[in-house]
Amino acid sequence: MSRDTVLLRHRKEKKSKCSLQPLVGKPGFTFVSWPAGTLPDLTGYLRLDPEGPPLRAEDRDQGLLLVDATWRYAERMIASVAEVPGRSLPGLQTAYPRRSKLHEEPEGGLASIEALYAAYLITGRATEGLLDGYRWAEAFVAANADAFESYRRAATIP
């Protein structure tokens, strides 16, 4: 069963800096504004969450929910969808140049589009065009080439 990927985005997220902005309007992606937006039924979905067990190729039939916000808002947003089981991504290196003066960012944190790309690879979903418009795409793919190759191999094994 094919489900849209749901992208729960904080209403204060700057769209000019949002790595997911190029996906707006593309088929297969549903953007929901938080806190005012209405979420679709998330039965059968997994939430990308650095605290969950690892996402696996066997999760390919589950929908994906990604919380898109600065780390300052993410905790409250995650709490609002805590009933959706969380899955983490194995240690990957971000290419996004983060510089927060107010909040410490977690080790291994990824830009939203990087997390989505990795989740798609792990679960065997098509990634063509996903990184289009992402300024640091080439550096991200190069930094994680070995991990991405292993995801591709694992996703093709039934």
pLDDT of 9-35, one tens digit each? Answer: 988 877 777 889 899 999 999 999 998
| Angle between helix 145-156 and helix 112-122 axes, rounded to 10 deg | 40
Q: What is the pLDDT of residues 62-99, one digit of tens each?
A: 999 999 987 778 889 999 999 999 999 988 999 877 65
The answer to whether 5 touches 47, Cβ cutoff 8 Å, is: no
Residue 107 is predicted with a pLDDT of 54
Structure tokens that stand for 50 in this block: 């650095």
Domain that holds residue 80: 5-156
Q: What is the pLDDT of residues 100-139, one digit of tens each?
A: 444 454 555 789 999 999 999 999 999 999 999 899 999 9
